[in-house]
Amino acid sequence: MLRTFHKLPGLLAAVLIVALALSGAILSVVPALQNFSAVDAPAAQVTVADLAANVARHVPGISQISRQPSGRIIADYATDTTAGSDIIDPATGAVIAPYAPSGFVRWMTDLHRSLFLRDSGRMATGFAAFAMVILCLSGAFLLARRMGGWARLFTRARGTLPQRLHVEIGRFAILGLLLSASTGLWMSLANFQIVSNGLDATAAFPVAVDGGTPKPLAQLAALRAIPLADLRNLTFPTDPSDVFTVTTSQGQGYVDQATGQILSWLPHGPMRRIYETIYMLHTGQGLWSLGLLLGLTALCAPVMAGSGALIWWRRRRSLPRLKHNHMAHSADTIILVGSDGNATWGFARTLHDALTEAGYRVHTGAMNTLGKHYAHAQRMFILTSTHGDGAAPASAAQFMARLAGLKHAPTFPVALLGFGDRQFPKFSQFGLDVAEALDARRWYAMLPYDTIDRQSAQEFARWGRSVGEALGHELVLNHQPERPRTRMLQLVERVDYGHEVQAPTSVLRFAAPEGPRTLWQRLTGQTGLPRFDAGDLVGILPPGSDLPRFYSLASSGRDGFLEICVRKHPGGACSGFLHTLEPGEMVEGFIKPNPDFRPARGRHPVILIGAGTGIGPLAGFIRGNARGRAMHLYFGGRDPQSDFLYADEIETWLGERRLTSLTTAFSRIRDRAYVQDRIAQDAQQLRKMVQRGAQIMVCGGRDMAEGVMESLELVLAPLGLTTVALKAEGRYVEDVY
């Protein structure tokens, strides 16, 4: 629900918000320019009477004097032959220059306030301000939830580039945008008299006026009592029976020109003071430095609108299109999905379509949308994968917290299905965690917890038959995996290792297939490869299979090639296929971003720990370290003569200072050791780096990663730290298989 509150205003008002933000940013410069061009005067010593007398001597036909928030004095005049406005020296009353407001500023102000559409435009800008308030508040709560609580609001942001950009800019700009939007909304409401601007009443016009000979302006007692700094405007009388009208920061009233006394006075009430404060905060008039700061934050709005739209579009595109997806409150069948990609959603769509065809009113959504109450639900299905080392996938990250917040178990039954790969020790671990949580809260199970290995359509069909038996009718789940969109990659180079130690491993380098490039590609130097970074994943489809195998990338798109390290596994369909490739042959592949496995931004040291093919993405990080950030590599293999991957490149990187230090451990030589042994030996040095803010990155097999973690726990203990604590800060990240 919170995501919906954030999404809808952004989509509905994005263009309006961008227009108002850009025009507001331009207008924010005006108060600063006015302030720097204003002539200084001892405003506390000069009175309004002094100013009026001085201006009257220099400006014939004076009709009004105004003091702008910047301190600049403007005099309006009208004679029989001419009329106009002048900028006045507040100390002497002399004319500095004619006052000619900028046509561009006036045009920009009309755009910002009303889009040139008068009242209808003012309504539109008011709606945009309201939408921005909702976006700021909902965005703040979403950010806190994403970062793991308010206390961790400013910890390292993770995700794709648009997601990180949205978070980082949002953290910088949210307070300024909220201030601009809320004050703009208040001014819009005041414009339509929904709230008061404090000018609902004015001082009563005096009935009795002396009408005698006017006193000299400098001797008018009421005006002498008003410091210049308090003046807003002073309107001169037009004849002996007329009066001065004066407005100050304190109120508004009338002054007799013959006696110099106040005839009527109405002090500003609280609402007027509130409105003037809000006006100052919104425009920067009278507080130009704040205006510039708000203008700077306003420039962030277009970037946030663009990155937010891109995030929404990518998320929308990644979800399968579901026909007849009913609203949750009206559905009799609920399907909740936990997935990091399209695979589990694809299975959910197959179930959704089969149940819809059977006559059920089905609602399918993410596990994160678990509601407190489903008015007409009679059954629920939960399909979830597992992320990494037993963690919740992205669309189920909030499920456990939502489940814990439910006071009562539903009356309808639930069927839970977990997806995973049995080659991993924690196969479908998150699904098992959900099953235990549901059982602890006494949710009635329609079926025992079941699992699907390696996205098997046959196992899914078997589960569907069990569901049909529970429902009392046949249910056929004929799942056809959606083939990912791939591109052809051509092998251009391979280097083989490890045959002598029974661990055949190859470093495979791919490029776009040879062929003519477009003019744009030639002009921009594009290689024809998709965009990717070291640490991302490439999905390879072996011949005759639509099920991709993923490999960590040891290069980035900027390197001009796509590189992976592949060890040949007995019976491995994809690894076996890749090891048969010769330069010039093709594979089908696609990129899957892996933004959580990246070196943190900044200059803090990076400790890279990998064994075997786990060196792949670490090598990519080192290769891209052109600025010489401190990077320390711990690499483990079997024999340096056989499977020391990237040995020649590492020597070059050390010479170029892309790599700061190298520590190796080999298990099939006389001085046998593993990387966790080297970590224990370097405990003191590692502690110092961690104290300096170092990030630790681990890549490789599950057993190696667990050994490394155990060793690091001992290293960190004297510092009062744990790997769990470092993970929470984004300073301990893993890519484990």
Determine the Cα angle at 324 with ends 322 and 327, to 5°. Answer: 100
**What's the token pair of residue 566?**
């592949």
- CA dist., res. 52 & res. 234, Å (int): 8
**Residues 312-362 pLDDT 10s:** 887 777 667 788 999 999 999 999 999 877 789 999 999 999 999 999 999
- CA dist., res. 463 & res. 466, Å (int): 5
Nearest alpha carbon to residue 674 among 663, 662, 666, 684 = 666
Buried b (16+ CB within 10 A) or exposed e, 495-512: eebbeebebbbbbbbbbb
- CA dist., res. 606 & res. 632, Å (int): 6
Residue 163 pLDDT class (50, 70, 90 cuts): confident
For the chain, what is the radius of gyration of the CA atoms? 36
Residue 525 pLDDT class (50, 70, 90 cuts): low
φ, ψ (nearest 5 deg) of residue 514: -65, 145
Residue 35 is predicted with a pLDDT of: 82
Single-letter code of the amino acid located at 182: S
Single-letter code of the amino acid located at 220: L
Strand ranges for 241-320 from DSSP E: 244-248, 251-255, 262-267
Which region holds residue 196: left if phi is over 0, alpha if psi is between -120 and 50, else beta? beta
Q: Is the pLDDT of residue 520 over 60?
A: no
Nearest alpha carbon to residue 643 among 698, 568, 709, 534 = 568
Nearest alpha carbon to residue 299 among 457, 440, 180 = 180
Angle between helices 702-716 and 683-691 (to 10 degrees): 80
Place of tokens 């669309």: 395
Residue 161 is predicted with a pLDDT of: 79
- CA dist., res. 563 & res. 576, Å (int): 17
Q: Which helix (H) or strand (E) holds 680?
A: helix 675-681
Of 425-429, 475-479, 494-498, 724-728, least confident by mean pLDDT is 425-429
- CA dist., res. 465 & res. 475, Å (int): 6
Single-letter code of the amino acid located at 391: A
Higher-confidence residue of 530 and 45: namely 530
- CA dist., res. 143 & res. 71, Å (int): 41
Mean pLDDT of 554-570: 93
Residue 419 is predicted with a pLDDT of: 92
Nearest alpha carbon to residue 236 among 447, 16, 49, 398 = 49
Q: CA separation (Å) from 190 to 110, 185, 279, 512? A: 17, 9, 11, 61
Pick the CATH number of 319-471 from 3.40.50.2000, 3.40.50.360, 3.40.50.620, 1.10.3720.10: 3.40.50.360
DSSP secondary structure, 435-469, as one string: HHHHHHTTPPBSS--EEEETT-HHHHHHHHHHHHH
Starting at the earlier edge strand, list the strands of the sheet with 537-541. Answer: 549-552, 537-541, 586-592, 487-497, 505-511, 562-567
- CA dist., res. 47 & res. 406, Å (int): 68
**Residues 463-500 pLDDT 10s:** 999 999 999 999 999 998 777 788 999 999 999 998 88
Residue 425 pLDDT class (50, 70, 90 cuts): low
Single-letter code of the amino acid located at 453: D
Q: Is 65 helix (H, G, I), strand (E, B) or coil?
A: strand
Query: Cα 195 from chain centroid?
Result: 33
Residue 728 is predicted with a pLDDT of: 80
Residues 6+ apart with CB under 8 A from 51: 65, 73, 88, 90, 93, 228, 231
The answer to whether residues 332 and 290 touch, using CB atoms and an 8 Å cutoff, is no
State the fold for domain 606-736: Rossmann fold (3.40.50)
- CA dist., res. 432 & res. 338, Å (int): 13
- CA dist., res. 395 & res. 393, Å (int): 6
Q: Is 634 helix (H, G, I), strand (E, B) or coil?
A: strand
**Residues 278-290 pLDDT 10s:** 999 999 988 899 9
Residue 501 is predicted with a pLDDT of: 82
**Residues 646-673 pLDDT 10s:** 999 999 999 999 999 999 999 988 889 9
- CA dist., res. 90 & res. 81, Å (int): 26
Residue 9 is predicted with a pLDDT of: 76
Residue 139 pLDDT class (50, 70, 90 cuts): confident
Cβ neighbour number for residue 730 with a 10 Å cutoff:
17
**Residues 224-246 pLDDT 10s:** 999 998 999 999 998 888 999 99
Higher-confidence residue of 609 and 5: namely 609
**Residues 177-190 pLDDT 10s:** 999 999 999 999 99
**Residues 199-210 pLDDT 10s:** 877 788 887 777
Residue 389 pLDDT class (50, 70, 90 cuts): low
Place of tokens 């990080």: 621
Mean pLDDT of 564-582: 92
Nearest alpha carbon to residue 495 among 615, 598, 653 = 615
Architecture of domain 487-592: Beta Barrel (2.40)
**Residues 31-80 pLDDT 10s:** 888 888 776 655 457 899 999 999 999 999 999 999 998 889 999 999 88
- CA dist., res. 374 & res. 389, Å (int): 32
Determine the Cα angle at 20 with ends 15 and 25, to 5°. Answer: 130
Higher-confidence residue of 687 and 485: namely 687
Q: Is the pLDDT of residue 518 over 70?
A: no
Provide, rounded to the nearest whole percent, the portion of the chain with pLDDT above 70: 95
Determine the Cα angle at 12 with ends 11 and 15, to 5°. Answer: 85
Q: Which helix (H) or strand (E) holds 14?
A: helix 2-27
